[in-house]
A and B are shown apart, each in its own frame.
Chain A
Amino acid sequence: MGLALVLPPRLVLIFLIILPAITAVVETLRPPGGSGFALTNYAHILGNRILRSDIRFSIVVTVVSVAVTFSLSYPLALYLRFNTGRLPALLAVLFTIPLFVPVVIASFAMITFLVNHGMVSTILYRLGIERFPALVYNATGIVVTEVWTTIPFAVLILGAGLQAIDDALIDSARDVGAGALRTFVSIILPLNATPTLITLTLLFIGIFGSFTIPYLVGGNAPQMLGVTMTNYLTQYLRRTESVTIAVIAFIIAAAVGAIYVASVGRRERQNL
């Protein structure tokens, strides 16, 4: 009965995710023009200096974006968890706004905001600052836009984790004389470790695989892998190369995803 009910979405999962992934991997293992299996395509991609710099660029931009998002989101989630009143209520509405803005629009809004002679540059000009580094069509633009779009997601997951911590635990720590910092380090931080790990890995995977933001807000080269593989498919019409880059991105993300699955799995076991 249960198996029958979960069959339809399972078929979608197999048909649209697992099967395409396997087909793709098999395709990339075929050497060009030959038969049998070989790693020729991978050697070709990894031997390309431009593609190597794209891989490095993707990882660096992703790590910086995750770090900035996280260091903004964690204090915000903490603040919302332990404060009530009009300001926290307003903040709670404010931080969810990007969740309802399509990524394409967020990227375009960011361009109009940050571009040379855009809003920020106009305000800086009025304040007498005329020379500053370009804010958009480069890595800075990608990071700022990624942070803008991922803050709600990070705050929500971290907040849900913090919400689950019993007030009684915190109060009793305070009762036996623990300071705010001590309470945070020895009670809140360890109890919130799993949601924190989930947030970090999901942020990494989401940003690493993003396409729209680097495509619109990023520069020409180096670019993030999402843009590179799309260009190979739609501009250069080289499907095998495109899929090979996709598999390399899969492998990098899967390594990080393993952490995520392991920590979610542990939670699931506790909940069931």
Chain B
Amino acid sequence: MSLSAAPAAAGGAPWYWAIGGLRRALGLGAFLALAAFILGPLLTLLVWAFAGAWLFPNLLPEFSLKWWYYVLGNADVDKAIRMSFLSAPIATLFSAVICIPAAYAFARLEFPGRRVLLLSFLCANAFPKIGLYVSIATLFYHLNLMDTFAGVVLIQVVNTILFMIWIPTGTFRGINRNLEEAARDVGAGPLRTFFHITLPIAVPGLIVAALFAFLAAFDEAQGTLIVGTPNHITMPVMMYTLVLSYAQPVGAVFSVLLSLPSLVFLLLAQRYLRAGYLAAGYSL
């Protein structure tokens, strides 16, 4: 709604000008502290991925690529990578197919109980995930969905629904109704109006929603650990084993592999993220 008003106080001295110098100094200090806090763990991990041996108290290890050969040559790792890249896109696609029309309905159509329904999707998010998974496992036992591919996909879908409903609903709601009405006035049917007017305008918001849904599905570990063990292991689930029972560089190498999709998506979607869709998605 107010995204266009984002850049504060153009022209004239802003009200905090008087303490601007102090603010800048504080800002720089805070920036350095935050940078160390946020980047420190990630950089340590990255160095570990290329470490042959790292003895205390050396600041840097002996570099080596041997753990990369070890991880990439492992059959279980290979299987987990395949499982992740098969299940997460299917879960995202399934979620998009069922949620985007619903999001449009929430944004544009009048029907009884609309508000309560929209809120009910939020309420689902208001419970601890792990409690939900244990309960879902109870149901899956009865339905023979434990340790199946379908079960893993369904668990991932649970994680994507909130993103796929709320971000697109906000996007559709933000589209000017006049554009749609103009198309209808010149004789376009409701479907044609949707596919030629509404959908193209909504694409950036939908991409952001799909991106978050994909990452939520791809990173899902707790539920998959319960529902997918022992034969349907995804990369994040594999990571538990690697962290707990292998040498540190093994976990580090696998972490770098596991971060690649997020990194690629971050770069691909940066244009849209900068446009403020990220914040818009959270402004609910």
- A-side residues, CB < 8 A to B, are 1-3, 5-10, 12-13, 16-17, 19-21, 23-24, 27, 75-76, 79, 81-84, 87-88, 90-91, 94-98, 100-114, 117-123, 125-126, 148, 151, 153, 156-157, 159-161, 163-164, 166-167, 170-171, 174, 180, 183, 198, 201, 205, 208-212, 215-216, 225-226, 229-230, 233-234, 239, 242-243, 245-247, 249-250, 253-254, 257, 260-261, 264-265, 267-269, 272
Contacts and interface: CB of A to CB of B under 8 A. Distances in A.
A84 B111 contact: no
A112 B48 contact: yes
Nearest to B280: A160
Interface in B250-284: 251-252, 255, 258-259, 262-263, 265-266, 273, 278-280, 282-284
Nearest to A123: B59
Nearest to A91: B31
A269 B57 CA distance: 59
7 contacts: A19-B139, A20-B139, A76-B34, A109-B42, A122-B58, A211-B222, A246-B135
A210 B37 CA distance: 21
B61 to A, nearest CB: 11
A210 B263 CA distance: 24
B70 interface: no
Nearest to A180: B16
A246 B131 contact: yes
B98 A12 contact: yes
Contacts, number: 309
Contact of A102 (B161, B226, B258): B258
Given A159-B279, A230-B226, A95 B101 contact: no
B191 interface: no
Contacts of B7: 84
Given A13-B121, A122-B59, A83 B23 contact: yes
Contact of B134 (A6, A171, A174, A243): A243
A102 B252 contact: no
Contact of B41 (A112, A122, A211): A112
A209 B124 CA distance: 13
A13 B251 contact: no
B138 A265 contact: no
Interface in B114-172: 114-115, 117-132, 134-139, 154, 157-158, 161, 164-165
B27 A211 contact: no
Contact of B45 (A108, A157, A167): A108
Interface string B15-41: 110010001100110110011011111
A23 B143 CA distance: 13
Contacts of A153: 282
Given A1-B111, A94-B34, A101-B259, A87 B41 contact: no
A170 to B, nearest CB: 7
A159 B283 CA distance: 9
Contacts of B42: 97, 101, 109
Contacts of A118: 44
B281 to A, nearest CB: 8
Grouping DSSP codes into helix (H, G, I), strand (E, B) and loop, the A interface class, with mixed when no group exceeds half, is helix
A160 B150 CA distance: 37
A101 to B, nearest CB: 7
B186 interface: no
A17 B82 CA distance: 28
B105 A2 contact: yes
A239 B8 contact: no
Contacts of B16: 82, 180
A106 B41 contact: yes
B56 interface: yes
A272 B108 CA distance: 11
A17 B5 contact: no
A123 B58 CA distance: 9
A186 B124 CA distance: 35
A9 to B, nearest CB: 5
A102 B119 contact: no
A9 B121 contact: yes
A246 B130 contact: yes
A268 B41 CA distance: 39
Nearest to B60: A122
A249 to B, nearest CB: 5
B170 to A, nearest CB: 10
Given A24-B135, A91-B34, A267-B284, A5 B109 contact: yes
Contact of B38 (A97, A243, A250): A97
Given A5-B109, A13-B161, A16-B136, 20 more contacts: A2-B111, A9-B161, A23-B138, A24-B134, A81-B8, A94-B34, A97-B38, A102-B215, A104-B258, A112-B44, A160-B282, A180-B16, A242-B134, A245-B131, A249-B128, A250-B127, A253-B128, A254-B126, A261-B122, A272-B115
